[in-house]
Amino acid sequence: MVAQTNASVNNNKYYGDVIPVIVLVCNRAEALERLLHKLTKLRSSTTKFPIYVSQDCDHLETKAVASKYDVQFIKHSAPTTEHFNIPTSMMQYKTYYYISRHYKLALEEIFDRYKHESVIILEDDLDIAEDFFSYFDSTYQILKKDESIYCISAWNDNGLPELINLKENAKLYRSDFFPGLGWLMDRRLWKEIGSSWPDGFWDDWIRLPEQRKERVCIRPEVSRTSMTSFGKKGASQGYFFDNFLNKIVHNEVAVDFNKLDLSYLVKETYDKEYLVDVYNKSKKYSLNEVKHFLNRDNVIATDVNKLIRIEYATFQQYQEIVSFLGLMRDFKVGVGRNAYKGILTTYTKNGIRVYIAPDLSIWKGYDKKWEFIP
């Protein structure tokens, strides 16, 4: 590995205030150009938000793009030139092993070489919202205070425009499911998991109970990242891009999160207030009742409670509910996307907030046997 820089390392007097951004790249020069233009335009300070570009292949055009901006460029040897073990049975997934290797190398640079306390991680096929930096700057303060939070994500896994309330673009949630796709981690987490970083499929690995340890990520109602068309040529061969990723929208009306009180995200406060909203302030309906009034084009929130709840007790019931509402149906070790204590939330075109919640009289926690491959 050879590390090269286009900018000097920030003076240590700013050490405690720095939230670096690292962009992982290979050979998509146009994608990097677009993202770096946005990042350098929107960041409030080059000192507070230094940008690193980490490249793990030998594409000169991409390197040339990085050289045009006030960023630090880090060059790693290409995975094809290095000997590392990929099981023969997994060779068709070798790209996922290359990606996991790149993440580890990039994070070693940030935490072990440059000694930063945190990092925002992006891949070059993402776009960012205008309030991207405000979002991470403010939520990072909550992460530092609350050890039950292990990441901040800019992504809502169910962030399709018809499933979110764009007017609640300042609303944030705790989630037991790691979203990724523009996320922040700190040195505390790196010290804990860095030495056991996996050879492949790092994102599935970080969702496992052994890494999560019942901690959560913070995620927004309205995403602060979105996928560009460059993502169609990624590791998933365009399947998830066409069917899902391309449909997620990022926030268009900026929020100054630094002016907001985000203390409601701290576990003790959140667990009291959120569970009251879900189980006490909302009205319980059966799925058939919800189907009846949501399928009426003329129904509005004033016709029914603005907060409604559909409870589930079985895997089949859960699948029927989320399928009807258009939510992602898959799990990781029994945890559904966006779930918190088994609860999901979505929004309807009729102006109704819907909670999909476990029946507390029988719910014993996540069932690792619940698994659905979309």
- Dump pLDDT digits (tens) for 179-190: 999 999 999 999
Whether 303 shows a pLDDT value over 90: the answer reads no
Query: What is the phi/psi pair of residue 214, to 5°?
Result: 65, 15
Residue 301 banded pLDDT, cuts 50, 70, 90: low
pLDDT of residue 299: 63
Whether 10 shows a pLDDT value over 70: the answer reads no
Structural domains of the chain, ranges and CATH numbers in brackets: 2-253 (3.90.550.10), 277-358 (3.10.180.20)
Rounded Cα–Cα distance for residues 184 and 143 (Å)? 10
Whether 311 shows a pLDDT value over 60: the answer reads yes
Question: Which of 65-74, 181-190, 284-293 has the lowest average pLDDT?
Answer: 284-293
pLDDT of residue 294: 82
Contacts of 247 (CB under 8 A, 6+ apart): 160, 161
Closest CA to 71 of 139, 4, 6: 6
pLDDT in tens, 213-241: 999 999 999 999 999 988 777 655 566 77
Strands 172-175 and 331-332: unpaired
Residue 350 banded pLDDT, cuts 50, 70, 90: confident
> Could you count the other beta carbons within 10 Å of the beta carbon of residue 212?
19
Q: Percent of the chain beyond pLDDT 70?
A: 91
CB 262 within 8 A of CB 173: no
Question: Which single residue is written with the structure tokens 């999160």?
Answer: 257
The mean pLDDT of 158-181, rounded to a whole number, is: 98
| Average pLDDT of the chain, as a whole number | 92
* Four-residue CA torsion sign, 40, 44, 46, 51: negative
pLDDT of residue 240: 72
pLDDT of residue 327: 96
Q: Which residue has the higher pLDDT, 243 or 103?
A: 103
The mean pLDDT of 160-184, rounded to a whole number, is: 98
CB 48 within 8 A of CB 19: yes
pLDDT of residue 5: 47
Rounded Cα–Cα distance for residues 364 and 71 (Å)? 49
In the chain, beta strands by DSSP E: 2-3, 21-25, 51-55, 72-75, 118-123, 126-128, 149-153, 172-175, 183-186, 216-220, 225-227, 283-284, 307-312, 331-332, 335-336, 344-347, 353-358
The 3-state DSSP class for residue 181 equals: coil
Residue 300 banded pLDDT, cuts 50, 70, 90: low
Whether 15 shows a pLDDT value over 60: the answer reads no
Whether 297 shows a pLDDT value over 80: the answer reads no
Question: Which tokens sit at 323?
Answer: 């399928």
Q: Which residue has the higher pLDDT, 194 or 8?
A: 194
Closest CA to 341 of 321, 314, 372, 363: 363
pLDDT of residue 16: 45
Q: Percent of the chain beyond pLDDT 90?
A: 82
CB 226 within 8 A of CB 116: no
CB 138 within 8 A of CB 257: yes
Contacts of 318 (CB under 8 A, 6+ apart): 312, 336, 356, 370
pLDDT in tens, 96-137: 999 999 999 999 999 999 999 999 999 999 999 999 999 999
**Residues labelled catalytic:** 203
The mean pLDDT of 159-173, rounded to a whole number, is: 97
Q: Which residue has the higher pLDDT, 14 or 338?
A: 338
Residues constituting the chain? 374
CB 159 within 8 A of CB 327: no
pTM greater than 0.95 (yes/no) = no
Residue 174 banded pLDDT, cuts 50, 70, 90: very high
